[in-house]
Amino acid sequence: MTESLFVSSYVIYYFRYLFLEICGFSVNLMRSTIVFLTTFILPVCLADNNCLKEEGCDCIIAGTWQNELGSNVTFTCKNGQLDGKYNSKVGEAEDYYTLSGRYTVSGPKNDVVELGWVVAWNNKKFGNSHSSTSWSGIYYPDDKVIRTQWLLTRYQEHKDYWMTTMVNHDEFKRIH
């Protein structure tokens, strides 16, 4: 609620400046415009934190990213749902794999993104690799990098259960 009040105050200040100082419009026109914006437009944008970021209300991490090993991930995202594809440069993963996950935004400017996604290593070219990887990470706008920790779980015989999961990290930089 305090964010809503802050944004509303900012909008009112901006339009007062715009109409009175720059355009010289009447106070009545200014008031009716402010009422329209704060009643109809602002609540829609605040309901979806990403509406102020990009056209179509997609999140700021939409696009293609590459990690330090050359693996590519492409995200599409809307309303907290993260979808896309992943191409690994590690091993024999020459094709794309479907990914699914979730994201949320936070920070004082709603420009920090916390996200997580999963890839089941199963595609048409190589079939089922009997493994899956989950990434959990965060994007800060000041360094424009998605920093993640990942868990790769692969099939092992029951007696070798202790070897089923590997842990590491990736940093993804935007390429598109």
Residue 14 has pLDDT above 80, yes or no: no
More confident position, 148 or 94: 148
The mean-pLDDT minimum among 36-40, 67-71, 77-81, 87-91 falls in 36-40
Question: Average pLDDT of 42-51?
Answer: 39
Residue 37 has pLDDT above 80, yes or no: no
What is the C-alpha separation between 25 and 2, in angstroms, rounded? 30
Q: If you write DSSP's letter for every residue of 69-109 in order, what string do you get?
A: TS-EEEEEEETTEEEEEEE--STT--S-EEEEEEEEEETTT
Question: Average pLDDT of 5-28?
Answer: 45
Query: Binning pLDDT at 50, 70 and 90, where does residue 95 land?
Result: confident
Q: Backbone phi, then psi, for 127, in 5-degree steps?
A: 75, -150
pLDDT at 93: 64
DSSP-assigned letter for residue 148: E
Question: Average pLDDT of 110-116?
Answer: 95
Residue 65 has pLDDT above 50, yes or no: yes
Share of the chain above pLDDT 90, in %: 55
Share of the chain above pLDDT 70, in %: 65
Question: Average pLDDT of 40-45?
Answer: 40
Reported as a single tens digit per residue, the pLDDT across 120-148 is 998 887 788 899 999 999 999 999 999 99
Q: Residues with Cβ < 8 Å from 104, sequence gap 6 or more?
A: 80, 113, 114, 115
What is the C-alpha separation between 89 and 70, in angstroms, rounded? 6
Exposed / middle / buried, residue 142 (Cβ in 10 Å: 0-12, 13-18, 19+): exposed
What is the C-alpha separation between 104 and 61, in angstroms, rounded? 11
Question: Average pLDDT of 149-176?
Answer: 96
pTM score:
0.66
User: Is 114 in contact with 97 (CB distance < 8 Å)?
Assistant: no
